[in-house]
Chains A and B, each alone.
Chain A
Amino acid sequence: MPPELAALQDWMQEAILAASDRGARAHVHGDNRLTAEERVQIYARGYRQRLIECLEREYPLLAALAGPTAFGLFAQGYVAARPSRSYTLYDFGAGFPAWLEASRPAGGAQDVGAIPAALARIERTKAEVHRARGIERGAPAWPGMDPVLAELLALAATRRWYRPDSARLLALPFDFGEMLATGEPIPPRPEPMLLAVVRAQYRIACLPLEPWQYDWLAVLPDDPARAVPLPDDARISLWLPFATAHGLAAPG
């Protein structure tokens, strides 16, 4: 590796990440339109803008609820603390919920300061479900048969079940039900909420769950090869058509 090239790249990356123009004139030409410092700053500004826009796209409800000033502070803090280390921008926002939780003022799980991290968990989960391996490509249990009839047969048979990667579960300290139903930045109620973020036919839904629904889905394996039989619980048997139709569970 050429040492001069390595030193130059180390310097430029530091200048971009720290938004510092120190050393610019030693390395970069300036002219009567733009100084060397201004040219380096084009890259430094572009770096921040690109990553902040990435967070705005991935966390639109949080951005709307927090407002531009507060969200800007969140995003700038995260960009400064956690430079991307992945080849894909998709990975960049993955640590945002945990960073928000670690950065909030000390307090209880249902303090107002805990809302951003909780909401960010939902939005990150939606992004992950968007790309996850889903059930859309699953071979029909009975090829050629009417799908409804096939589903009834599947339910009637003693099948084994798993939870697809495109069905994620969240136990939240706030009830975001109204916000999720309307898409509007309505503040949540300080009550626990069990939620499934799920994809079926490439459409993502956030479904509130009862504790017994959550508990059953939580113990289902995510590998079809390790699918398990239904428990002896009439509530689950009755709910199963809904769960399968929405992609929460699938026959293994």
Chain B
Amino acid sequence: MTLPRLGLPNPGDGLGLREEHFPHLMSTPPESWGVDWFEAITENLLDNAGYGMRVFEHVAAHRPVVLHGVSLSIGSTAPLDMAYLGKLRALAERFRPLWISDHLCWTGVQGVNSHDLLPMPLTEAALAHVADRVHQVQDFLGRPLIVENPSTYLEFRASQMPEAEFLARLCEATGCGLLLDVNNVHVSSFNHAQDPIAYLEGIPAAHVVQVHLAGPSDHGTHLIDTHDAPVPDAVWPLYAWVWERCGPVATMVEWDAGIPEFDVVAAELAKARRVREGLSLAA
């Protein structure tokens, strides 16, 4: 039987570490941050001996941290980038993050990196391919990989199963964890005219290690995962549903464009607590 969260801790409510908030974090006592833990973008720290690393050291000295990558490209048919993985492992050995996450996606082939989280065809062959690579990464890092569901804007004709089933079978095959991005469930479900609750029902609760919340942009015919707005009203009931089924679990708000003051993002995180407690968001 799988332990809840794979036996990993629940550090509470966290925020993404963003450059716009460096002055606040370096000038405010940690006890006043009002945040339990921080998630850093892995690629922002690799090869970085500047101020970004200095701030991360400060934050990691006072709060638990996790590393969240965007370039692992676990679904690509290109070979795994062992130089990247080597640097990631060294970073993890230095800072001991609670866990390491990346996305169910591919970012490029033939040496190119699109710097986008490109969708996978949800086929049996792709599942076997991704599972094999998750095994390789977990063996290399010596810890479970935490895989995030991406926002998607297209579905392949070749797909043979829903994304939730793909993720559930990936968890079963590899023992990996899930970073369940509730906003991404909302975005993808809207874009593909699907039921988000049906998606969530297919997720293996015990494998959910972390939850992401964020705000997308509405383009009328579709939503795009821009992380540039408050969490939309439609996402909060989904989060409450996830908490009921998977909680308690680490929850984090992402805000990556048009980033407001630290206190504004922290206030968005406080909404998550109110939702969990069944309170109105207005207070």
Interface on A for B, CB 8 Å cutoff? Answer: 1-2, 4-6, 8-10, 12-13, 16-17, 26-29, 31, 33-34, 36, 38-40, 42-43, 46-47, 50-51, 83-90, 92, 130-134, 136, 165, 199, 202
- In the complex, whether B136 has a CB less than 8 A from a CB of chain A is no
How far is it, in angstroms, between the C-alpha of A45 and the C-alpha of B175 when the chains are bound? 36
Contact at A13–B125, with CB atoms within 8 Å? no
Q: Cβ of B47: which chain A residues have Cβ within 8 Å of it?
A: 88, 90, 131
Closest 5 CB pairs of A and B: A2-B125, A39-B154, A87-B71, A133-B49, A6-B77
Q: Is the interface of B mostly helix, strand, loop or mixed?
A: loop
Given contacts A2-B128, A29-B156, 20 further A-B contacts (CB under 8 A): A4-B121, A5-B121, A6-B77, A8-B158, A12-B118, A16-B118, A27-B158, A33-B193, A36-B154, A42-B224, A43-B116, A43-B153, A46-B224, A47-B115, A87-B46, A90-B47, A130-B50, A131-B48, A131-B50, A199-B50
Query: Given the interface contacts A28-B155, A131-B48, A199-B50, does A85 sit within 8 Å of B111 by beta carbon?
Result: yes
Nearest CB on A from B63, distance (A): 21
Kindly report which residue of chain A lies nearest to residue B159, judged by CB atoms.
A29
Nearest CB on B from A130, distance (A): 5
**Chain B: how many interface residues by the 8 Å CB criterion?**
42
Q: Cβ of A132: which chain B residues have Cβ within 8 Å of it?
A: 49-50
How far is it, in angstroms, between the C-alpha of A134 and the C-alpha of B157 when the chains are bound? 52
21 contacts between A and B (CB under 8 A): A2-B77, A2-B125, A5-B121, A5-B126, A8-B158, A9-B106, A10-B109, A10-B110, A17-B112, A26-B157, A27-B156, A28-B154, A31-B193, A34-B191, A47-B114, A85-B111, A88-B46, A131-B48, A134-B49, A136-B54, A199-B50
How far is it, in angstroms, between the C-alpha of A227 and the C-alpha of B106 when the chains are bound? 45
How far is it, in angstroms, between the C-alpha of A72 and the C-alpha of B157 when the chains are bound? 36
Q: Cβ of A40: which chain B residues have Cβ within 8 Å of it?
A: 154
Contact at A202–B51, with CB atoms within 8 Å? yes
- In the complex, whether B84 has a CB less than 8 A from a CB of chain A is yes
Contact at A86–B113, with CB atoms within 8 Å? yes
Kindly report which residue of chain A lies nearest to residue B50, judged by CB atoms.
A131
Contact at A42–B154, with CB atoms within 8 Å? yes
How far is it, in angstroms, between the C-alpha of A90 and the C-alpha of B156 when the chains are bound? 31
- In the complex, whether B280 has a CB less than 8 A from a CB of chain A is no
Q: Cβ of A27: which chain B residues have Cβ within 8 Å of it?
A: 156-158
How far is it, in angstroms, between the C-alpha of A40 and the C-alpha of B110 when the chains are bound? 20
Q: Cβ of A4: which chain B residues have Cβ within 8 Å of it?
A: 121, 123, 125, 158
